[in-house]
Amino acid sequence: MSRPLAGAPREPRCALGQMIPTAIAPDAVKAAGWRDHGLLVVALDDPRLGWADRELVRTIGDKLYGTQEVQR
């Protein structure tokens, strides 16, 4: 058995330690939602979207859920 690095977190000593959640990347959750369920989660300020893409998303959101109350 190898020795842990100095200052590294130790393994939990009880069975409840197995229930400690692990962090999941938000983009990984969004990608899985799209692939597995056809759900799309898009932020209007996502830098990967161009102006036309942003306007398309805004139009779809307004059509399905009404216009935003916040000043654009």
d(CA 50, CA 44): 10
Is pLDDT of 71 > 70? no
The string of pLDDT tens digits covering residues 46-65 is 999 999 999 999 999 999 99
Confidence of residue 1 (pLDDT cuts 50, 70, 90): low
Average pLDDT of the segment spanning 6-34: 81
Domain ranges for the chain? 23-65
pLDDT at 8: 73
Q: What is the pTM of this model?
A: 0.60
Helix, strand and coil percent figures for the chain, each rounded to 5: 45, 0, 55
